[in-house]
Amino acid sequence: MRLSTLLLRAAVLGAVVLSAPVAAHAQQAAAKPAAQPAPEIYFRAPRDGATVPTTFAVEFGLRNYGVAPAGVSLAGTGHFHVLINVEPPAPGVMIPADSLHRHFGGGQIETTLTLAPGTYTLRAVLADHEHKVISRELISRPIRITVRR
Ligand SMILES: [Cu+2]
């Protein structure tokens, strides 16, 4: 019961995350029907270079991949992480759980973060049900933000 509820939720979340790029992707598919679309992960918010208050909204973006809660083993899915001022582990390596490696194992696609004033480099990383980095493509480009006093 609980698992099926989670899976349903994951499917709904995946649909929400993936709905916008579907139209663009459909055009590519028409031109190149055999091509496997590359996944892409990014921050919808905050924007690169943004100045934000100490508590700020984070919205994840994902194309050509799905979202499922941690612990749910479903091919083609994972859950989001935010890495703060640290390099991402290599694919296949488990992401630590500490203040610099935040896990969103509930399958969240948006959240809030609270950071002390300063400048930060953030990366969004999608990892599998065991918190292992899936691939380089599922590590976002770094964004730089300034948290204001
Ligand atoms: Cu995790």
Query: Domain map of the chain by residue range?
Result: 2-147
Q: Tell me: the pLDDT tens digits for 107-136?
A: 999 999 999 999 999 999 999 999 999 999
For the residues 44-62, what does the mean pLDDT come to?
98
How far away, in angstroms, is 28 Cα from ligand 1 center?
A: 32
Q: What is the pLDDT of residue 141?
A: 98
* Mean pLDDT computed over 54-61: 98
Residue 78 CA to ligand 1 center (angstroms) comes to 8
Whether residue 127 contacts residue 81, with contact meaning beta carbons closer than 8 Å, is answered with yes
d(CA 36, CA 10): 22
* Residues making up the chain, counted from first to last: 149
Note whether 36 and 28 are within 8 A (CB).
no
pLDDT of residue 32: 52
**Residue listed under structure tokens 């973006």:** 61
What is the average pLDDT across 5-23? Answer: 42
- Which token pair is 52? 């934000």
Q: How far is the CA of 12 from the centre of ligand 1 (A)?
A: 20
> 2-147 has which fold?
Immunoglobulin-like (2.60.40)
27 C-alpha to ligand 1 centroid (Å) = 33
Residue 22: pLDDT over 90: no
Q: What percent of the chain has pLDDT over 70?
A: 77
Q: Could you tell me the distance, in angstroms and rounded to a whole number, from the CA of residue 70 to the centre of ligand 1?
A: 6
Q: For residue 50, count other CB atoms closer than 10 A to its CB.
A: 14
